[in-house]
Amino acid sequence: MLSLVTGIGLNVQIIMLNAMMAGVASFVLSILVVIARRLTVNEKNETFSADLSGAQKAGVALALGIILFAVYQNGSYTASMEQAAKDVRQQPTAAVKPLTITAAGLQIANAHGYIDPATGDLIVSGTVQNTTDKPRSGWYLVTEVRDAKEAVLATAKMVNGVQLYSKAELDVLSKRGEKIEDIQKKISALGEGTIPAKGSITFEVRVLNPPAGSARFLPTLQSLDLAALIGTMQAGQGASMILARY
């Protein structure tokens, strides 16, 4: 019960230990009861040297039988619990498929960038090409801004043409007069970024206020675990991030 209430699940080892301790405590208590009775009885024929009667021997045998039966049942119950726990651990792995975006079969072409004269932002655009014979419904683009020594100064991320913004970046856009509500209205379904078989799709990502010392940019297609991304956002670590599309 303690394992379940605390949320850590069934701890088989603790359950076995507690069961064994309870059995030992019960046996010791029964011995203490017998000793106390013999010390308080006034009949002379009931002493420690007196032979046990048939009923008393039967009682001791019954007690030992109960203990052995309890040990056997505890072992059987423990084995069944371990098997059940193993089945539960294996079931999600077999039933749930990871939501992963891969870069296999995709490539970037015609990548170029320029500085937006109105805002000073770095605009990186280009084409994502699908070299496979099947449509691709998911792609993840990471654009790194690097200095002359190849140190990463800033990054911009995009999923299916939908750029991810942090709260700090939204604050920058808000100070520029952009309405966050209007940006949120531009949220597009991820399915709109599907690339046809042997086809291509254009992208445009904005790096807000590129830091001083920026020498070049590098857009790359990478793998992404969507379940992990959603979990991070739900946990609050990325709750300030929204999906917005220019």
Q: What pLDDT shows up at residue 6?
A: 46
Instruction: Fill in the DSSP letter of residue 75.
Output: H
Q: What pLDDT shows up at residue 169?
A: 87
Give the Cα separation of 127 and 108 in Å (integer): 6
- 101: pLDDT confidence band, cut at 50, 70 and 90? confident
Of the candidates 141, 156, 177, 160, the residue with the CA atom closest to the CA atom of residue 241 = 156
**In contact, 190 and 160? CB cutoff 8 Å:** yes
Give the Cα separation of 140 and 222 in Å (integer): 6
Give the Cα separation of 158 and 126 in Å (integer): 13
HSE, side-chain direction, 13 A CA sphere, residue 47: 4
**In contact, 217 and 89? CB cutoff 8 Å:** no
Summary mean pLDDT of the chain: 76
Across-strand partners of 113?
124
Sequence-distant (≥ 6) Cβ neighbours of residue 146 within 8 angstroms:
152, 153, 214, 215, 216, 217, 218
- 89: pLDDT confidence band, cut at 50, 70 and 90? low
Q: Which CATH number fits domain 101-244: 3.40.50, 1.10.10, 2.70.98, 2.60.40?
A: 2.60.40
Per the structure block, which two tokens stand in for 79? 């084995």
pTM equals 0.54
Across-strand partners of 243?
164
Q: State the burial class of residue 145 (Cβ atoms within 10 Å of its Cβ: 0-12, 13-18, 19+).
A: buried
Strand order in the sheet with 162-165: 216-222, 140-146, 152-159, 162-165, 242-244
Is 217's pLDDT higher than 80? yes
pLDDT tens, position by position, 141-162? 999 999 999 999 999 998 888 8
Give the Cα separation of 209 and 172 in Å (integer): 9
Amino acid symbol at 14? I
Q: State the alpha helices, DSSP H only, in the chain.
A: 2-5, 12-40, 54-95, 167-175, 180-185, 226-234
- 64: pLDDT confidence band, cut at 50, 70 and 90? confident
All structural domains of the chain with their residue ranges: 2-95, 101-244
